[in-house]
Amino acid sequence: MHQALSELMLQHIIKSDRTGAVHLTESAISEGIPCRELLDGVLLPALQTCGTLWEKREISLAQIFMSGKIAEAVFEECQDRQAEVSSLPPRGIIVLGNIEDDYHSLGRRIVISFMQAAGWRVHDLGEDVTAETFVEAALRHGAHVIGVSAMMHSTAMNILKVRELIDRRGLHDQLKLAVGGAVFNWRPELVEQVGADGTSASAAGADAECMRLQMATEKGAP
């Protein structure tokens, strides 16, 4: 982790200083820090600290809202880097979304950046995605992995509907279910309770975990 940079990023977020955060990102990129490291080692720890401060009521909802806007601006700054790695051979196809009733998009968007950087073709289904939409999109796009993000306990339980639909349609060997989001990091037992096939505590581990799941399907790697 780039601790000093992450602390600077946190200060920009707390001050709701989007321009400062973007300048910090630009100069880190020009110094040669890879996009993955910027997202995982600078932005993510700053967002996690924001989450802790929010839970302690030390920052406001407005600051949390701005943290999302700032994170989006940092993603955009990293887009050019994504283009550099898009020539890698495709590793697989995945559909990703936030489960029904969940609108916490930040974690999902970071996972998407990492998966694209690793060479996956990612179909982003957005927020508040129903079980039917997940399964139909996976079949339509030829994905072997469905990635579901959930931040809250109540919304995580909606993932059971995806598990049930996959099983009811006899797709268990064809489609694997990966889950993630802050709630699974606090309560790891939820992974099994929602019927997931795998998880990763951070975007950095999502590629390896989804690769493992893809290899476990009847078709294996494409």
* Closer residue to ligand B12 in complex, CB, 81/104: 104
* Closer residue to ligand B12 in complex, CB, 87/172: 172
* Closer residue to ligand B12 in complex, CB, 28/71: 71
179 binds ligand B12 (CB under 6 A): yes
64 binds ligand B12 (CB under 6 A): yes
13 binds ligand B12 (CB under 6 A): no
46 binds ligand B12 (CB under 6 A): no
Residue among 2, 8, 14, 68 that touches ligand B12 (CB under 6 A): 68
Compute the least distance from the CB of residue 72 to ligand B12, in Å: 8
107 binds ligand B12 (CB under 6 A): yes
Reduce the secondary structure of the chain to three states and give it as a string. CCHHHHHHHHHHHHCCCHHHHHHHHHHHHHCCCCHHHHHHHHHHHHHHHHHHHHHCCCCCHHHHHHHHHHHHHHHHHHHHHHHHHCCCCCCEEEEEEEECCCCCHHHHHHHHHHHHHHCEEEEEEEEEECHHHHHHHHHHHCCCEEEEECCCHHHHCCHHHHHHHHHHCCCCCCCEEEEECHHHHHCCHHHHHCCCCEECCCHHHHHHHHHHHHHCCCCCCC
Residue nearest to ligand B12 (CB): 180
Residues near ligand B12 (CB under 6 A): 44, 47, 51, 54-55, 64-65, 68, 101-108, 110-111, 147-149, 151-154, 178-183, 185, 199-200, 202-203, 206, 209
